[in-house]
């Protein structure tokens, strides 16, 4: 932590007044991500001990910015301690924006437009900036080649198929893997492959996308990244929208290279399959093997995508054993039960300041709870807490010592739990719970975080938390 504070103070010439650990932006990675702020500036600090990935991210970031692409500015670095400081792009990922602007399969126009802008930018990474990129810093491979594909397919086989109990003939499956790999590598691999181009690695600031988490990039096929975005499991994009976005992407590609749509599409769905298998391997490793249950909540969405592919797509090559495994997966009651049989429910938890008014409903439902936390003792009145938030340990400790806090939280949980059960049983898809206080910095943030902890990991429930006043403070 000290190394990040030093980098911040050297770059901004001001002392760090607030430190906020972040989670969620980088999913299953081992990186420690921290927001550091003074009265005048804010930045994101990263601590990670894999030097090769750090080098790739820093060099790629500077290269992409030189091409005018929307990626974070790198402020400072200390590779000897695995630390770097980058531009703060806020807290709203494309996935969160999508979740806040949809009702089931119906996406609000602003969510669709965000995706349209994202797919229009992708060819600039792949072709324009990819032409003169230094691929020597790629880690662990410079090309998405046969070795890369083998790693992904074996990840899927050992951490998903075997741990999920899906039966298969290993030799026949390996034969299918060989045919699939040969087919995937028969396309042009001379483009930048972002590798993890999905909705949680794209931030929205002032309505426009900024891109993160490309340190695993390498040379590869155009088809992979657009497949990763459009078949991102929990984003659950409707098939009609996926097709519209794919058409827009292909149209944009034609601005950079001569492209025959039929040639692109000949290989496209094979890359969709291999990307889904890579994701399932990750879900299996994190969920079945490491026992992190929330990763398994994405599995039914991936199965939904596989079911659609099995029904609507015929690959140019025969993969009988792999196809049989997919068929067993989508029919598996065990895998479907990884999320509740009840409807998937998104719970939006907000903290806010009453000075700015109660948050506007963005779901179109108009329901939910608004809890007034101003009856709770206010840490903000004490000088020692003024620069802190309800996420910081001293504030949490102070509020945990107040009996009224525990009584208030117990009442909140009783009401919210009752609504959760009813909403899921009736097939509702959205519930909003808002906490307000005077400044939107201490009590409301504390209660929003406490409720998030208690609801995270529940079957059929996805929690999206936003601290509206903190977002304004950090701009």
Could you tell me which of 70, 403, 118, 126 has the C-alpha nearest to residue 241? Answer: 118
- Is 94-336 the same fold as 2-87? no
Do 431 and 343 contact (CB within 8 A), yes or no?
no
pLDDT at 28: 57
May I ask the CATH architecture of the domain 2-87? Answer: 2-Layer Sandwich (3.30)
Question: What is the per-residue pLDDT for 398?
Answer: 95
Is residue 428 within 8 A of residue 103, CB to CB? The reply is no
User: What is the value of pTM for the model shown?
Assistant: 0.73
Beta bridge partners of 439: none
Q: Residues near 225 by Cβ (< 8 Å), separated by ≥ 6?
A: 122, 125, 126, 193, 194, 195, 197
Mean pLDDT (10-residue bins), the chain, 475 residues:
94 94 61 93 96 98 98 98 97 91 86 97 98 97 97 97 96 98 98 97 95 97 98 95 98 96 97 98 93 85 95 97 96 77 74 92 74 96 94 95 94 92 76 95 96 83 90 80
Q: Write out the two tokens for 362.
A: 């963005």
Q: Quick one: CATH architecture of 94-336?
A: Alpha-Beta Complex (3.90)
Count of beta carbons in the 10 Å neighbourhood of residue 268: 21
Q: What pLDDT was estimated at residue 9?
A: 96
Domain boundaries, the chain: 2-87, 94-336, 345-473
Residue written as tokens 């969405």?
301
Distance CA 425, CA 444 (A): 29
User: If you count DSSP H runs as helices and E runs as strands, how many of each does the chain have, helices first?
Assistant: 17, 15
Residue located via tokens 């299996």: 284
Q: From start to end of 151-266, where are the E strands?
A: 191-193, 202-205, 208-211, 218-220
Phi, psi of 93 (to 5 degrees): -80, 165
């Amino acid at each position: 932590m000290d190394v990040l504070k030093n980098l911040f103070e050297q770059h901004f010439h001001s002392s760090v007044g607030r430190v906020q650990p972040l989670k969620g932006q980088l999913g299953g990675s081992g990186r420690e991500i921290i927001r550091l702020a003074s009265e005048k500036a804010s930045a994101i600090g990263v601590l990670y001990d894999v030097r090769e990935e750090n080098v790739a991210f820093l060099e790629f970031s500077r290269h992409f910015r030189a091409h005018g692409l929307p990626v974070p500015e790198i402020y400072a670095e200390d590779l000897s301690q695995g630390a770097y400081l980058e531009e703060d792009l806020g807290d709203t990922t494309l996935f969160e924006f999508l979740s806040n602007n949809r009702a089931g399969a119906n996406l609000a126009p602003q969510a669709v437009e965000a995706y349209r802008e994202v797919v229009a930018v992708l060819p600039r990474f792949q072709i324009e900036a990819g032409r003169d990129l230094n691929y020597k810093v790629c880690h662990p491979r410079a090309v998405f080649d046969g070795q890369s594909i083998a790693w992904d397919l074996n990840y899927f086989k050992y951490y998903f198929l075997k741990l999920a109990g899906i039966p298969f003939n290993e030799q026949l499956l390996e034969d299918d893997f060989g045919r699939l790999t040969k087919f995937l590598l028969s396309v042009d691999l001379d483009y930048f492959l972002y590798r993890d181009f999905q909705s949680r690695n794209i931030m929205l600031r002032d309505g426009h996308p900024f891109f993160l988490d490309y340190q695993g990039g390498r040379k590869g096929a155009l088809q992979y990244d657009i497949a990763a975005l459009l078949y991102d499991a929990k984003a659950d994009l409707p098939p009609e929208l996926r097709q519209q976005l794919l058409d827009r992407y292909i149209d944009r590609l034609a601005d950079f290279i001569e492209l025959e749509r039929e040639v692109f599409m000949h290989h496209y769905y094979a890359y969709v399959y291999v990307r889904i298998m890579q994701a399932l391997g990750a879900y299996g490793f994190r969920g079945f093997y490491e026992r992190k249950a929330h990763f398994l909540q994405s599995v039914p969405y991936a199965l939904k995508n596989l079911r659609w592919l099995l029904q609507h797509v015929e690959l140019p090559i025969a993969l009988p054993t792999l196809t049989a495994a997919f068929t067993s997966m989508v029919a598996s009651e065990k895998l479907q039960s990884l999320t509740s049989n009840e409807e998937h429910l998104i719970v939006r938890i907000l903290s806010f300041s009453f000075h700015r008014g109660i948050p506007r409903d963005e779901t179109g439902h108009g329901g939910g709870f608004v809890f007034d936390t101003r009856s709770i003792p206010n840490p903000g009145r004490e000088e020692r807490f003024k620069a802190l938030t309800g996420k910081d340990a001293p504030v949490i400790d102070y509020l945990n010592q107040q009996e009224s806090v525990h009584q208030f939280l117990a009442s909140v949980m009783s009401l919210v739990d009752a609504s959760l059960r009813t909403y899921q049983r009736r097939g509702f898809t959205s519930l909003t719970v808002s906490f307000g206080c005077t400044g939107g910095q201490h009590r409301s943030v504390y209660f929003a975080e406490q409720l998030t902890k208690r609801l995270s990991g529940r079957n059929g429930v996805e929690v999206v938390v936003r601290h509206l006043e903190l977002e304004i403070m950090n701009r």
